[in-house]
């Protein structure tokens, strides 16, 4: 692309080929579609109709989890309550296939089917369709999410690459958080919690009717707690620990404009301060501030369910001042506009056509003055075909066309010029799945998918360190990371035992993995370390999940995953040297179990998890090395008593087996116990 004279971040100058594809799909829909059967979604009514939790996120139509052309688990509001958790990572640590690395009291990294690391960036996280990960790096600061547990209807865990079905950068999996809709769900609740580590927290959700025009849901929370006191390994040592804190507020309103036409408006703000482990495996004090605005117009028309969505996310991150490097301060904004149509052709074909545009920008840090940005134009299409009453086929394709740009200041000895960022990256993702209902109790699913993780802004040059002793930056030449997954899953109900079994086998291949400091560029007076592509990785695994109830009052679940990863890295990155090592840091065996009991007044649940020995990474300041993490088992639990129909008191805890326990290469985690009083309508 030709450089502009003002050196501003580049933007698309013409309609890209991917937009033409999407527009042609949308025009075909308008011309050939029969009257649509899609309805504006009321999850409560759908649950009553299906007799179980359902999803609409994969194809736009209501489906059971076992009918989705991907491997999905739905965590319900009852599951969240019974978990006894105080945050989303605490809920997800009990879920089959989800890996949680807890570094500090309020800091955890989450991945799906291994491949976890500090600032894990392979999972797309959504709240009601809005991405909420930190765009500048692609990771999720979970404490900074503007969501209270009491506002969540369900959490959908989708395993494997699913960008064509769910959106941008969904390469390792998707965590889709669905909240209560104020139009359909009259939910009001308040919880207060106190516990060890100085925990004090209050959160609330209130649903307010707005007459005949709509409804408003307000939610918010305040939390403070002390950090773990277990020693920080010398290699990870950073600034002194600080007290953790979180403030959050969210307003979500829906308005009925006319029959079949809804408008949704949402605004949120969070502020969170926490101790965490950074991508270079050092301890740091981080201060996050986020704001978001979102509007969505949905219309049920005779050419389908039309949706137009627009939102902006702002996130600021501040680290403690470093005498050598200066002040780390990051300000990132992403703006996304989406248009979608879900429609039927006859009774056997459901189609979805979508267009998306996003603009993402961040300033360089800790040396300010530069700006790195990209624009992405995307088009996608999905076709769900009920081939026979027992067989359905779903195909989805997405094309992303990214245009990268940089402007502003760079050091005199910098190894690149702004024009080096003038590049375009076009990539495709797809999902294809066949679901065969073998009989009333069994289903087979064969799934193939490819997802693409485009380089994030930090890896692309937003990181800029230039001192007499250390020079580090990103690279404009990074190749996208592509993940391809092949999976076979068998679901079987056992009505006699009121149980459900799922057995799945998967093979996954990842190409063009990246490292934040994988290459060196010599300059006349310096040597810059830059991000780089370091190789590939493959994973083979099996997963067994079983759950059910007994005698009405008892519930149970059991899961086991065996996964074997092989990394094929360039010589300089082998053995965990270059801040990345999945072969040795992913445990080969993970098992989780739950047993619970309840009656009119009492609820008791216990959660046991085990993972085999593995390794973790620690830094030397220049590179990393492997340290052993022994096999361990951990126990969580909750005991609750319903004082009245609207008041419940509970005692719950995490890591109850030991006062301290090594679970990562970082500080040992501590036992946590807390008491919660919940009042709800």
What DSSP assignment string belongs to 48-116? HHHTS--B-TTTSS-B-GGGSSSEEEEEEHHHHHHHT-SSHHHHHTTSTTEEEEEEETTEEEEEESS--
Lowest mean pLDDT among 111-115, 163-167, 334-338, 404-408: 163-167
pLDDT at residue 101 greater than cutoff 80 = yes
pTM of the model: 0.92
Examine the pLDDT at 214 and tell me if it is beyond 80.
Answer: yes
Q: Is the pLDDT of residue 352 over 80?
A: yes
* Per-residue pLDDT, 35: 32
Q: Is the pLDDT of residue 378 over 80?
A: yes
Mean pLDDT computed over every residue of the chain: 91
Written as six digits, the tokens of 527 are: 């040597």
Confidence bin at 595 (pLDDT 50/70/90): very high
- The terminus-to-terminus CA distance of the chain in angstroms comes to 59
- Determine the average pLDDT of the residues in 201-212: 96
The pLDDT-based confidence of 147 (bands split at 50, 70, 90) is very high
CA distances from 525 to 17, 414, 468 (A): 44, 10, 10
**Residue 573 DSSP SS3:** helix
Confidence of residue 8 (pLDDT cuts 50, 70, 90): very low
**Where do the DSSP E strands lie in 160-303?**
173-179, 189-195, 199-209, 214-225, 244-258, 261-277, 283-301
Query: What pLDDT score was predicted for residue 520?
Result: 86
* Whole-angstrom distance, CA of residue 595 vs CA of residue 555: 6
The arithmetic mean of pLDDT across residues 255-269, rounded, is 95
pLDDT at 430 over 90: yes
Which pLDDT score, from 0 to 100, does residue 336 have? 97
Residue 416, helix vs strand vs coil: coil
The pLDDT confidence band at residue 37, using thresholds 50, 70 and 90, is: very low
Task: Express each pLDDT in 470-520 by its tens digit.
Answer: 889 999 999 999 999 999 999 999 999 999 999 999 999 999 999 988 888
> Residue 6: is it exposed, middle or buried by C-beta count within 10 angstroms (0-12/13-18/19+)?
exposed
The arithmetic mean of pLDDT across residues 33-50, rounded, is: 61
Question: How far is the C-alpha of 26 from the C-alpha of 32, rounded, in Å?
Answer: 10
pLDDT of residue 524: 83
* pLDDT cut 90: percent of the chain above it: 81
Task: Determine the pLDDT at residue 229.
Answer: 96
Range with lowest mean pLDDT among 44-48, 453-457, 513-517, 648-652: 44-48
What does the pLDDT read at residue 427?
95
In this prediction, residue 469 carries a pLDDT of 81
Count Cβ atoms below 10 Å from residue 33 Cβ, excluding itself.
Answer: 19
Please state whether 461 falls in left (phi above 0), alpha (psi between -120 and 50) or beta: left
Q: Helix, strand, coil shares of the chain as percentages rounded to 5?
A: 10, 60, 30
The pairing of beta strand 527-550 with beta strand 329-345: unpaired
Listed in sequence order, the residues at least 6 apart from 550 whose beta carbon sits closer than 8 Å to its beta carbon are 498, 556
Percent of the chain surpassing pLDDT 70: 93
The number of C-alpha atoms within 13 Å of 87 and in the hemisphere containing its C-beta is: 26
Q: What is the pLDDT of residue 322?
A: 66
pLDDT at residue 193, rounded to an integer: 98
Domains of the chain, earliest start first: 17-189+267-640 (2.40.170.20)
Q: Are 150 and 229 in contact (CB under 8 A)?
A: no
Count the neighbouring beta carbons within 10 Å of the beta carbon of residue 601: 11
Residue 3 pLDDT greater than 60, yes or no: no
Of residues 417 and 8, the one with the higher pLDDT is 417
CA distance 623 to 573: 9
Confidence of residue 321 (pLDDT cuts 50, 70, 90): low
């Amino acid at each position: 692309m030709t450089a502009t004279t003002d050196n501003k971040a580049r933007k698309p100058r013409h309609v890209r080929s991917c937009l033409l594809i999407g527009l042609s799909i949308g025009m075909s829909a308008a011309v050939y579609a029969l009257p649509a059967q899609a309805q504006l979604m009321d999850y409560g009514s759908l649950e009553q109709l299906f007799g179980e939790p359902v999803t609409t996120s994969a194809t736009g139509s209501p489906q059971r989890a076992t009918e989705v052309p991907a491997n999905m688990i739905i965590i319900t509001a009852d599951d969240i309550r019974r978990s006894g958790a105080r945050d989303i990572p605490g809920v997800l640590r009990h879920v089959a296939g989800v890996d949680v690395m807890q570094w500090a009291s309020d800091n955890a990294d989450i991945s799906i089917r291994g491949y976890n690391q500090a600032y894990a960036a392979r999972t797309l996280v959504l709240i009601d369709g809005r991405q909420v990960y930190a765009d500048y790096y692609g990771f999720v600061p979970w404490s900074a999410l503007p969501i209270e547990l009491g506002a969540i209807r369900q959490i959908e865990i989708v395993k494997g690459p699913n960008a064509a079905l769910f959106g941008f950068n969904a390469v390792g999996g998707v965590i889709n958080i669905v909240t209560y809709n104020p139009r359909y769900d009259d939910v009001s609740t308040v919880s207060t919690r106190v516990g060890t580590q100085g925990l004090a927290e209050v959160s609330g959700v209130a649903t307010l009717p707005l007459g005949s025009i709509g409804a408003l849901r307000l939610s918010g929370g305040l939390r403070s707690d002390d950090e773990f006191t277990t020693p920080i390994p010398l290699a990870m040592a950073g600034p002194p620990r600080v007290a953790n804190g979180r403030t959050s507020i969210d307003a979500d309103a829906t308005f009925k404009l006319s029959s079949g036409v809804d408008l949704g408006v949402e605004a949120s703000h969070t502020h969170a301060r926490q101790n965490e482990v950074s991508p270079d495996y050092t301890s740091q004090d981080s201060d996050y501030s986020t704001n978001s605005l979102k509007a969505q117009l949905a219309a049920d028309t005779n050419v389908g369910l039309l949706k137009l969505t627009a939102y902006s996310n702002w996130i600021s991150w501040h680290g403690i001042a470093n005498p050598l490097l200066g002040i780390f301060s990051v300000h990132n904004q992403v703006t996304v506009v989406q248009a979608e149509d879900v429609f039927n052709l006859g009774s056997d074909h459901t189609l979805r056509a979508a267009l998306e545009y996003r603009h993402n920008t961040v300033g360089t840090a800790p040396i300010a003055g530069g700006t790195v940005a990209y624009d992405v134009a995307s088009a996608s299409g999905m076709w769900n075909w009920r081939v026979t009453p027992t067989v359905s086929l779903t195909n989805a394709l997405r094309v992303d066309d990214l245009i990268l740009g940089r402007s502003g200041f760079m050091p005199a000895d910098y190894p690149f010029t702004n024009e080096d960022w003038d590049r375009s990256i076009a990539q495709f993702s797809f999902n294809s799945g066949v679901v065969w209902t073998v009989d009333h109790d069994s289903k087979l699913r064969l799934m193939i998918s490819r997802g693409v993780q485009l380089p994030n802004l930090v890896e692309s040059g937003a990181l800029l360190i230039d001192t007499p002793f250390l020079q580090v930056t990103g690279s404009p030449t990074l190749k996208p990371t592509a993940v391809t997954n092949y999976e076979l899953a068998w679901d079987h109900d056992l009505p006699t035992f009121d149980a459900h079994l799922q057995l799945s086998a998967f093979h996954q291949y990842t190409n063009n993995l990246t490292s934040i400091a994988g290459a060196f560029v010599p300059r006349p007076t310096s040597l810059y370390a830059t991000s780089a592509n370091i190789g590939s990785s493959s994973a083979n695994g099996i997963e067994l999940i079983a759950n059910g109830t007994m005698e009405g009052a008892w519930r149970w679940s059991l899961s086991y995953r065996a996964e074997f990863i092989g990394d094929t890295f360039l010589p300089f990155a082998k053995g965990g040297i270059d801040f990345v090592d999945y072969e040795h840091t992913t445990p080969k065996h993970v098992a989780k179990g739950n047993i619970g009991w309840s009656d009119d007044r009492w609820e008791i649940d216990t959660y046991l998890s085990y993972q085999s020995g593995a390794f973790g990474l620690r830094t030397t300041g220049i590179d990393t090395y492997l340290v052993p993490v022994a096999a361990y088992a951990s126990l969580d639990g909750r005991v609750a008593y319903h004082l009245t129909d609207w008041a419940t008191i509970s005692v719950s805890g995490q890591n109850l087996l030991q006062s301290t326990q090594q679970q990562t290469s970082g500080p040992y985690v501590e036992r946590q116990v807390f008491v919660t009083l919940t009042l709800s309508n």
